[in-house]
Structure 1
Amino acid sequence: MTDHIIFIHGVNTREAGVEPTYADALIKQLYRQNETLDNPLDLNMIPLYWGDVNQADEAALLQFYERSPLWKKMNFIGVRSNQLLQFTGDAALYISRFAGIKVIERLRLQTIAGLRQNGRPGPRPGDRFHLVTHSMGTVILYDALFSARWDPEKTSDYQGVEEIREAIFGLGAQPGQGLPLCSIHTMGSPISIFSLIMIKNGNGVMDSIPNTHDITPRLQQLLTALHTILRRKLPWRNYIHPGDPVAYPLEDLLYAMIDPQQELLEINDVLTQEPGILDPLLNTQIVGEVAEIALFGGKAHNSYWTNELVASQIFETLLQASQIAALNNPMLQDPDLTA
């Protein structure tokens, strides 16, 4: 039995951009911990990379900005041209279904290749998978898995999202088929902010308007199905660096939105390090430049990939999943990702 760990990065917060090797340090830590076991787990690391998908579109937009006679008179041109454009540009482009399909198709093909790398035959009965998502990558992946805007009737001929969902236990149309999701790890995640687009007015008239970005119904469907085979709550770890302005707590919000009875999820917000002595000063009115440096020049938002606590927490959930594997396997059939 194999544990497939799928990684996905977020949008750029540094001038150099996100490299395809973004997850290497974390992967090495997980392998090192695995090597200490008497009976090591069979781990298959699948880092997904979409960082260059929107580069041409963002470069074209920058050329329009640079034609303006006001451009060189504006402050923070370097930040505007690199981090800010890429950070907000990737998010804005993904909202477009046309650009979003380019991202999702890249992720779909990489996942198929990753499940078959190193001579593997592909996913087998009893295999499991785990999600490790960073920053905006969390929003992208969860939108693809759970949002109604990707339902087949809304995407014309594109079936890539449906194929991804069919490969996951509890999301597809065939009961008992697909890989079971055994843990979720969100790092520096702004997903709580995106919960604002799921709010329903509740005034009667507005209730009739479908919320196509609401991920909660399908996520609840997945969690309910998983609970029948895992016979435990799904572990969800949300990692927060105190200096990362993109990271927000999720525990109370997710219980309220998805699992009010706290029967399906085991959610824990994890602080990856204690605040520094001077950190309280950042909560005073000394903002402006400080906030900008923290968001675009600081290391906090990308620190999770090298953090030992993050690695140990992820590995702990891998061990837990292996210990209850006997309860998972009987109901599972071979997932099909070849479509």
Structure 2
Amino acid sequence: MTDHIIFIHGVNTRESRVEPTYADNLIHLLLRKNESQAEQLDLNMIPLYWGDVTKQDEEMLLDMYQRSPLWKKMNFTAIRSNQLLQFTGDAALFISRYDGVRVIERLRLQTIAGLNKNGLMVIKPGDRLHLVTHSMGTVILFDALFSARWDPEKTSDYQGVQQIRQIIFGLDPKMGQGLTLCSIHTMGSPISLYSLIMIKNSNGVDDSIPNTHDITPKLQQLLTALYAVLQRRLPWRNYIHPGDPVAYPLEDLLAMMIDPSQQILDIKDILTQEPGLLDRLLNTATLGELAEIVLSGGRSHSSYWNSEVVANEIFDTIQKSASIIP
């Protein structure tokens, strides 16, 4: 049986864009771990890359900014031109239907290519699927898999999202078919912030108003379907570097929103290293100093791809899945 591991990157918080080779170091760590085992797993690595899809639109916007007579008089123009524009720009563009479809199409084609050999789908009965997502990539992938805004009645003739969803067991349009999702790994993920758009009736809001960006119903549907078949909770590991400003805890939030009885989801927040002196200094820095340090650095946000802690936990989770789900 094969363990198919899909990787998806987020947005770089450093000066340059994410490169297509972003997952190479983590893949190398996983393969090295596998080679040291007496019984090796059959691993199929599928890194997805969407980092250049929105580049042209953001460059056009930056050009308009730079033509403003006020631009050179503003502070932090380097940060505004790179990290802030990429992080907020990619999020805004993905929310739009036009650029969202372009990103989804890239992911769809690369996923199909990763699951094919010589033009034929290589999925076999008993094969397993694992998701490894970073930063904004978590939001993008989870939006594609679970958000109601991509349901057929809302997307006219566009069927790309449905083709992605049908690869995974427990999701419409073919709930009883597809790969069994055996673990989720989120790294430096801001997805907990998006719970703010899922809140219902907290201020007397009419429950009849549709919330098209809410991912919780379909995510809960998937987890329930998996538990019914596997009789085990889905392992979800959320990795947090103490110096990463984009990473937030998920354990308590998802337990409350998705699995209050803690029966269908095994989620854990994992710190990739203990806080050091620099982290304590950041906690006492002024707001201006903190913004400059955080936005111009970004090493902690990309550190997961080189982390032995992350690689070991991912591999151990996959290995346990293989022994429980042969």
TM bucket (normalised to shorter chain) is over 0.9
Q: What stretches of structure 1 of length at least 5 have no aligned partner?
A: 327-339
Contact persistence 1:6–1:47 (CA under 8 A): yes
> How far apart, CA to CA, are the structure 1 residues paired with 2:277 and 2:15?
28
Once the two structures are superposed, the pairs formed by residues 225-304 of structure 1 within 5 Å of their partners are 225-304=225-304
Contact persistence 2:241–2:273 (CA under 8 A): yes
> How far apart, CA to CA, are the structure 2 residues paired with 1:296 and 1:4?
35
**Relative to structure 2, which stretch is displaced further, 254-263 or 201-210?**
201-210
The alpha-carbon distance between structure 1 residues 204 and 77, as it changes in their structure 2 partners (threshold 3 A), is closer
Contact persistence 2:227–2:264 (CA under 8 A): yes
Shift of residue 118 of structure 1?
A: 8.0
Q: What stretches of structure 2 of length at least 5 have no aligned partner?
A: none
SS in 2 for 1:13: coil
Amino acid at match of 1:64: M
Q: Which residue of 2 aligns with 1:184?
A: 184
Amino acid at match of 1:43: L
Aligned sequence identity (%): 73
> How far apart, CA to CA, are the structure 2 residues paired with 1:296 and 1:206?
42
> How far apart, CA to CA, are the structure 1 residues paired with 2:243 and 2:51?
24
**Relative to structure 2, which stretch is displaced further, 121-130 or 54-63?**
121-130
Shift of residue 275 of structure 1?
A: 0.4
Q: Which residue of 2 aligns with 1:71?
A: 71
Q: Which residue of 2 aligns with 1:102?
A: 102
Contact persistence 2:14–2:295 (CA under 8 A): no
Once the two structures are superposed, the pairs formed by residues 52-131 of structure 1 within 5 Å of their partners are 52-117=52-117, 121-131=121-131
> How far apart, CA to CA, are the structure 2 residues paired with 1:69 and 1:291?
25
Amino acid at match of 1:302: S
Shift of residue 166 of structure 1?
A: 1.3
Contact persistence 2:8–2:133 (CA under 8 A): yes
1:166-217 deviation per Cα after TM superposition (whole angstroms, max 9, x unaligned): 1110003334211010000000000000110111125665111011011000
Shift of residue 321 of structure 1?
A: 1.0
**How big is the alpha-carbon RMSD for the aligned residues of Structure 1 and Structure 2?**
1.5
The alpha-carbon distance between structure 1 residues 286 and 118, as it changes in their structure 2 partners (threshold 3 A), is farther
> How far apart, CA to CA, are the structure 2 residues paired with 1:103 and 1:141?
10
> How far apart, CA to CA, are the structure 2 residues paired with 1:15 and 1:280?
24
Contact persistence 1:236–1:265 (CA under 8 A): yes
Contact persistence 2:12–2:302 (CA under 8 A): no
1:271-324 deviation per Cα after TM superposition (whole angstroms, max 9, x unaligned): 000000342232225232223322332300000000000000000011011101
Aligned residues: 326
- Find out whether 1:167 has 2:139 as its counterpart: no
The alpha-carbon distance between structure 1 residues 7 and 68, as it changes in their structure 2 partners (threshold 3 A), is same
> How far apart, CA to CA, are the structure 2 residues paired with 1:174 and 1:55?
34
- Find out whether 1:224 has 2:224 as its counterpart: yes
**Relative to structure 2, which stretch is displaced further, 278-287 or 108-117?**
278-287
The alpha-carbon distance between structure 1 residues 287 and 33, as it changes in their structure 2 partners (threshold 3 A), is same
- Find out whether 1:320 has 2:324 as its counterpart: no
1:210-232 deviation per Cα after TM superposition (whole angstroms, max 9, x unaligned): 11011000001000110122211
